[in-house]
Structure 1
């Protein structure tokens, strides 16, 4: 595949419902893995936000290549797994995200099937679509795509922001993304034309170290020491010690062992009273936490671990305001 241009996904800014409402369309925010789909010569390639080829992890989506009307296209969407209540579940998706062994993927496909939810089109054959307004791109997407068992085009709602946000909350979803109707697609940019409005606070974090557990977790990872990038480099953001399963802790221990380093990786010295007994690691693993708020000392209050994010690069992790 070499004919289609390479794109970086456009991203949204965190905020509140934008105004005036009639200038925006509102989509549900899906709790999954962002992926661009390149369909060329009848073959599909899925690329993560940090430009990794993740096609092998989601073979049930390969049929999308025959559902684009014979076109060569670049599409944007979110890969999601659903829980037993039919809600997108980042936790359920975790084993799929990290798996590359064919036989294990085949077993996981039955236990944790995924759906690729498409919400944009960037390129069709030799013509870029990024300069088209949002509404025109959504119309083009519906013209091109034939829906399938493992890919779909979720609806969007015009002039109904408060209702859509309330419905997302009722359904237990993460929130909504509001997109300006006239906006072009701006590859690689975090644009004010797209605003994500969350029902819960989540934050991407860099794993910078860990402390050994006590009691039932003796000899295991007890908590992770976290960082986010800011002025002066990587900054200490607190620790997380809840939200882990035993399987998660074993996996983390295996990943952290070869990353050991002698000194903290922060741009400034972290507080000793909060990091006593820390075992530092190279800051290459990215995770996500749910939390209550940021404290005045720029620490995450009551964070809970949600999982690793192999689709994100450490240098892209900043505090979301």
Structure 2
């Protein structure tokens, strides 16, 4: 089967309303594209990276639906101890690169699959079929696995977007997605068919590095505790929000803070722009609140802002997202 670029919702500040829209929960996970053909299954991320062997829980799709050719679209999530989707937990699971460690992650970070679209069914391309019809086809096609699995679920559809938005805010979820019922499945974000409305978020992070410019801190590199490991998962860098007194304190205690070893996991820190700056790694001892708009596909902050340093312990920087 040829690769079908995933359709992505466009961010907007308010909830789309009207009889032509349906609304769904914005699941806090990673996109999972399922390709079933000739009795075999492949699992891909939004960027097209194959991850089949690392999500054996999804083999139930092949077992239940493998006799039919289809392309499914949904979100892979890992729940926290409250039963809510946790972006931190799915990041921990997604970083698994060695199958020798897989049993640990299967026990401690089991995944669920929230199914919300079907792009091909038994040779019929559905990307130019209206969403409402695709939903009807999906419900029928996925029935065997939905009825016999506690891993795969159909994403529920709601008619009242404002009500859903309010409920998701109370539940500290990520937001909602609003879709036109007559929308085709179009690649990327160059459309006016799907929209996402998300909450203002903040996360407790650990400072693991400082970029210096003219002997003053220019930006902070931030991370969260990455599962059972001792390293931090890199979340991004920010300078917005740093106050004059913060800059002076970091400068004053530079010698005590700096260390040779990088405190971050090696994945994800290769794209740091070093133009005109000096980078030093720091002892992971300082926590701070970071506000952000949303998380990118690779789990990094978009539009982060330092909200303030804290005296909270490192263990609380576990990737939990709070909404304002």
Q: 1:69 to 1:162 in 2, by over 3 A?
A: same
CA shift for structure 1 position 106: 1.6
Separation in 2, partners of 1:278, 1:48? 32
Separation in 2, partners of 1:178, 1:162? 10
Separation in 2, partners of 1:71, 1:262? 47
SS in 2 for 1:302: strand
The match for 2:124 among 123, 127, 140 is: 127
Instruction: Provide the residue aligned with 2:170 in structure 1.
Output: 170
CA shift for structure 1 position 239: 3.9
CA shift for structure 1 position 138: 0.8
CA shift for structure 1 position 31: 0.6
Residues 243 and 306, structure 1, Cα contact 8 Å, conserved in 2: no
Post-superposition Cα deviations, 1:186-222, rounded to whole Å, max 9, x if no partner, equal 13344321000002348xxxxxxxxxxxxxx9xx933
Instruction: Provide the residue aligned with 2:254 in structure 1.
Output: none
The match for 2:91 among 89, 94, 102 is: 94
Separation in 1, partners of 2:67, 2:25? 29
Q: 1:100 to 1:56 in 2, by over 3 A?
A: farther
CA shift for structure 1 position 111: 0.8
1:34 aligns with 2:31: yes
Instruction: Provide the residue aligned with 2:208 in structure 1.
Output: 221
SS in 2 for 1:122: strand
- Runs of at least 4 residues of structure 1 off by over 6 A? 303-307
Instruction: Provide the residue aligned with 2:252 in structure 1.
Output: none
Separation in 2, partners of 1:135, 1:261? 43
Q: 1:61 to 1:256 in 2, by over 3 A?
A: closer
CA shift for structure 1 position 255: 4.2
Q: 1:260 to 1:141 in 2, by over 3 A?
A: closer
Instruction: Provide the residue aligned with 1:244 in structure 2.
Output: 224
Separation in 1, partners of 2:128, 2:65? 21
Separation in 2, partners of 1:260, 1:11? 24
Residues 31 and 76, structure 2, Cα contact 8 Å, conserved in 1: yes
Runs of 5+ consecutive residues of structure 1 not aligned to the other structure: 203-216, 226-237, 270-274, 308-321
Q: 1:37 to 1:253 in 2, by over 3 A?
A: closer
Q: 1:108 to 1:182 in 2, by over 3 A?
A: same
CA shift for structure 1 position 70: 2.5
Q: 1:26 to 1:261 in 2, by over 3 A?
A: closer
Separation in 1, partners of 2:193, 2:99? 40
Count of aligned positions: 253
CA shift for structure 1 position 172: 1.5
Instruction: Provide the residue aligned with 2:15 in structure 1.
Output: 17
Instruction: Provide the residue aligned with 2:300 in structure 1.
Output: 288
Two-structure CA RMSD over aligned residues (Å): 3.2
CA shift for structure 1 position 185: 0.7
Runs of 5+ consecutive residues of structure 2 not aligned to the other structure: 213-217, 234-261, 282-296, 310-316, 320-324
CA shift for structure 1 position 286: 4.6
Q: 1:42 to 1:242 in 2, by over 3 A?
A: same
| Aligned counterparts, 1:34-53, within 5 A | 34-53=31-50
SS in 1 for 2:84: coil
Post-superposition Cα deviations, 1:67-117, rounded to whole Å, max 9, x if no partner, equal 227210001001000000011001111221011222211211011100111
Separation in 2, partners of 1:254, 1:181? 43
